[in-house]
Amino acid sequence: MKKLFTVIFVLFPFMIFYMFLKLPTDGNIDFPVRKGENFRVTMARLKRSGIIRDTIRFLLLARITGLDRKSKSGYYTFRKNLPEFKVLLKLTVKGAPLKEFRIRIPEGYTIKKMAPIFKKIGIIPDSFIYYTQDSVFIKRVKQCCPLIGHPKTLEGYLYPDTYNFVYGESIYDVVCKMLKRLCAIFDSSLIKRMEDLGFDLHETLTLASIIEKEAMVDAERPVISGVFHNRLKKGIPLASNPTLNYALGINYGWLPTWAIKERTPYNTYIYPGLPPGPICSPSKKSIIAALWPKKVPYLYFVAKGDGTHLFARTYAQHLKNIRYVKSLMFGKRKVSHSSPSLIKKVKKVNNKSKSSNNQSGVKDTSGNDVHEKAYNNSNKPK
């Protein structure tokens, strides 16, 4: 032990000289430190980033000075070749302010799609996806918004909005903030309306998420909602492409026959009622539409390709609308009352990510109406 102290005593002046030695500088390095990050982890990252040269020497200095367990979280900017002792002082004594990031979560995003956005604040996308589907985590985070109940996953519950997050914020804090925003949306008037309709929050968000994927024009949200409410009352499957796209991980506008036959509870061409849960995070407009549907006589709709839809009361009229849309899309006949710009947009429908989801009760590639093909003919509306 005496020999060790003798060696340290002899070498210490040389170490201090080296650590204060000013080397040529060459730019800056941004270096975030997460809250609660282990000092050894921070030290290893410092070396990988080229901020320090030797972890053993750096750790020895930190221990001699008693600063090896006092690193402060923050968003640091270090000069390249900054003396190591100054790096240590900045990390453990001076600290750095937390850098705030403005993050926008678009309406209609799934958890899988929004997860990479949080990389900006140091969250690993796969970890975000895992925890938002973990029952223990969901039970713990429920205290941020007791209204959510006991969902199996937080799909649809993470409210799409613009948030301010600081680097290093935990997944729990991020999710908690998003759930609180959702709870703020559901005021007493919305809760009462849910009760009047016999809906709970899960059912409301599920229907709202389908409307979110189907509607591109705000004026049509309550109309599409009205169609779905009519189908729910009559026990007719919703026949919504987005629910199948979600379950199968595809993004088809015109669903192929094999997709319609898939035995997934999200297949709303086969199974009546709502699917097991939301398929995305719906906007407030879609939530309002789900709770206040427009009273319409329609049971069918088909996307025109320009963001709007053609609605129909009867199956015969629906087939006529489908033929009309397909004539525009594939140019089989000229339509004098359609503008050139509309036809141009329709022909590009399959290149649009969202409009490709906006087909309901349309024909498959064989020319047969996929909803009526999949659903028992005895349940056809008259």
Looking at the predicted structure, is the pLDDT value of residue 295 above 70?
yes
Contacts with 21 (C-beta within 8 Å, 6 or more apart), sequence order: 83
**Is 164 in a helix, a strand, or coil?**
strand
Across all residues in the chain, what is the average pLDDT? 81
pLDDT tens-digit map of 346-370: 334 334 334 334 444 433 322 334 4
Q: What whole-number distance in Å separates Cα of residue 77 and Cα of residue 119?
A: 19
Task: pLDDT band for 62, please (50, 70, 90 cuts).
Answer: confident
Once rounded to an integer, what is the mean pLDDT over residues 55-76? 83
Looking from the CA of 174 toward its CB, the CA atoms found within 13 Å total 33
pLDDT for 331: 65
pLDDT for 111: 97
pLDDT tens-digit map of 202-253: 999 999 999 999 999 999 999 999 999 999 999 999 999 999 999 998 887 7
Please give the share of the chain, as a percent, with pLDDT higher than 70: 79
Q: Where are the alpha helices (DSSP H) in the chain?
A: 2-20, 39-48, 55-64, 84-89, 111-114, 125-131, 135-141, 171-185, 188-197, 201-214, 221-234, 241-248, 257-260, 284-291, 315-330, 340-347, 370-374
End-to-end distance of the chain based on CA atoms, in angstroms?
95
Give Cα 100 distance to the centre of its chain.
20
Most confident of 15-24, 58-67, 132-141: 132-141
Q: Which tokens in the block code for residue 204?
A: 């409301």
CA 339-344-350 angle, 5° bins: 135
In angstroms, the Cα distances linking 372 to 240, 369, 379 are 13, 6, 9
In angstroms, the Cα distances linking 33 to 24, 70, 95, 131, 132 are 25, 12, 10, 22, 24
Task: pLDDT band for 54, please (50, 70, 90 cuts).
Answer: confident
Looking at the predicted structure, is the pLDDT value of residue 380 above 50?
no
Q: Are strands 300-303 and 309-312 parallel, antiparallel or unpaired?
A: antiparallel
- Find out whether 65 and 19 touch, Cβ atoms under 8 Å: no
Q: What whole-number distance in Å separates Cα of residue 341 and Cα of residue 4?
A: 83
Looking at the predicted structure, is the pLDDT value of residue 162 above 50?
yes
Domains of the chain: 18-94 (3.30.1490.480), 100-185 (no CATH), 210-379 (no CATH)
